């Protein structure tokens, strides 16, 4: 999925540049450029800024005919795989070290909830939100999901 996303995103960039180059008028090209940006980013640019971008894009001639998967894409995909594998490993370990499946399950649930707190805390700090509130919200979500799983027999 990561590889498809990387190639698609790069391809979309080429399509956007070609749309700017084939626009019938500057206003249409300006719409294409601003639609390719986040609304916050687009709101910071003046018409002159967008026109400078359009002029630069009009001069681009060495666009690839098609996008392909690069070595860097493969390395990033490997990184995503390792991240997912390593993130799930702590949750699986109790099943290897504890013989009682019920105890291993609850221990796994506890580890997952602690990890949810850590992820919520880190993401909130990174995004400029209250880390403690986000971490505790993630804990509540985790406890709620574990309670549902228990109610369903898990």
> What sign for the dihedral angle of Cα 127, 129, 135, 140?
negative
Whether 132 is covered by a domain: the verdict is yes
44-98 pLDDT, tens digit each = 999 999 999 999 999 998 887 778 899 999 999 999 999 999 999 999 999 999 9
Q: What is the full DSSP assignment across 15-48?
A: HHHHHHHT-SSHHHHHHHHHHTS-HHHHHT--HH
Backbone angles phi, psi at 128, to 5 degrees: 85, 20
Is pLDDT at 154 greater than 90 in this prediction?
no
22-33 pLDDT, tens digit each = 999 999 999 999
One domain for residues 92 and 52: no
Whether 71 is covered by a domain: the verdict is no
Backbone angles phi, psi at 15, to 5 degrees: -60, -40
Residue 119's domain comprises: 82-151
CA distance 107 to 6: 37
Whether 40 is covered by a domain: the verdict is yes
């Amino acid at each position: 999925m990561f590889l498809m996303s990387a190639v698609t995103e790069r391809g979309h960039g080429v399509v956007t540049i070609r749309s700017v180059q084939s626009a019938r008028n500057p206003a249409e090209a300006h719409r294409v450029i601003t639609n390719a940006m986040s609304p916050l980013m687009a709101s910071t640019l003046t018409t002159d800024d967008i026109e400078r971008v359009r002029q630069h894009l009009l001069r681009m001639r060495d666009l690839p005919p098609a996008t392909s998967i690069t070595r860097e894409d493969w390395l990033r995909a490997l990184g995503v795989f390792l991240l997912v594998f390593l993130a799930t490993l702590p949750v699986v370990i109790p099943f290897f070290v504890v013989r009682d499946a019920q105890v291993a399950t609850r221990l796994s649930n506890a580890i997952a909830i602690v990890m949810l707190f850590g992820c919520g805390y880190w993401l909130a700090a990174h995004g400029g939100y209250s880390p403690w509130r986000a971490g505790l919200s993630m804990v509540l979500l985790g406890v709620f999901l574990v309670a549902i799983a228990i109610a369903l027999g898990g």
